[in-house]
């Protein structure tokens, strides 16, 4: 009768299988970590670009206010005086279609650089459709002269650098609306 005796130092493969399993688990853990770090970086980049776009919209609002203040009178009809005017017959804020075709016609446009990012900023102004009392939108002196009126300002900001951080120009817009006061 032949008997098998185990030779000292010989393994039956369990250690090898456990080692392969541990390496496989570690590989998946590292791949998961790489994925989450990459995703976190993309989110951080998008937040940074969004913050820069909001800064550009503030610059656009300041430009709209400056354009309004430079007008010699209180414009009530559009476009009776020069300036970036919006068609007040449209209800609500301007649409994407409005912004794509308004340059030089019914809105003003400028290029703004914030940090390393370049944006196209479009803005326009219109007399507010709300009653003046709602926004405290006028002040009349004792002689009947109007000292100020309020207007709506709309700003659209578009990123000019497609592909930056996975962003495309078509999906990076910031729209802002503000009420501006025109001094008399």
pLDDT at 26: 95
DSSP 10-74: ---SHHHHHHHHHHHHHHHHHHHHHHHHHHHHHHHHHHHHHHHHHHHHHHHHHHHHHHHHTSSS-
pLDDT at 3: 63
pLDDT at 43: 81
8 A C-beta contact, residue 180 and residue 70: no
Whether 50 is covered by a domain: the verdict is yes
Whether 113 is covered by a domain: the verdict is yes
Whether 3 is covered by a domain: the verdict is no
pLDDT digit string (tens) for the chain, length 184 residues: 666 665 666 667 888 889 999 999 999 999 999 888 888 888 887 788 888 888 999 999 998 888 888 877 776 655 545 566 765 555 667 877 888 877 666 788 888 988 888 888 898 888 775 555 544 555 555 566 666 777 888 899 988 775 654 544 445 778 888 888 787 6
pLDDT at 27: 95
pLDDT at 118: 87
pLDDT at 7: 60
Cis peptide before 118 (omega within 30 of 0): no
8 A C-beta contact, residue 102 and residue 42: no
* pTM of the shown model: 0.68
**Total number of domains in the chain:** 1
Whether 2 is covered by a domain: the verdict is no
Which structural domain range is residue 39 located in? 14-183
Whether 1 is covered by a domain: the verdict is no
Whether 9 is covered by a domain: the verdict is no
8 A C-beta contact, residue 183 and residue 145: no
CA angle at 61 for the pair 57 and 51, rounded to the nearest 5°: 20
């Amino acid at each position: 009768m032949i008997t098998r005796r185990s030779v000292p130092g010989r393994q039956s493969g369990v250690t090898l299988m456990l080692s392969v399993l541990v390496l496989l688990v570690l590989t998946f853990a590292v791949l998961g970590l790489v994925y989450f770090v990459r995703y976190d970086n993309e989110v951080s980049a998008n937040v940074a670009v969004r913050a820069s776009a909001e800064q550009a919209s503030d610059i656009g609002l300041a430009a709209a206010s400056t354009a309004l203040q430079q007008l010699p009178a209180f414009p009530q009809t559009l476009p009776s005086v020069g300036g970036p005017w919006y068609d007040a017959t449209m209800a609500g804020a301007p649409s994407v279609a409005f912004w794509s075709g308004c340059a030089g016609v019914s809105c003003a446009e400028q290029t703004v650089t914030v940090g390393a990012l370049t944006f196209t900023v479009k803005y326009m102004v219109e007399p507010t459709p709300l009653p003046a009392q709602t926004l405290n939108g006028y002040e009349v002196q004792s002689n009947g002269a109007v000292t100020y009126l309020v207007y709506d300002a709309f700003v659209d900001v578009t990123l000019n650098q497609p592909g930056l951080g996975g962003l495309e120009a078509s999906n990076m817009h910031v729209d802002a609306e503000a009420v501006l006061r025109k001094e008399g």
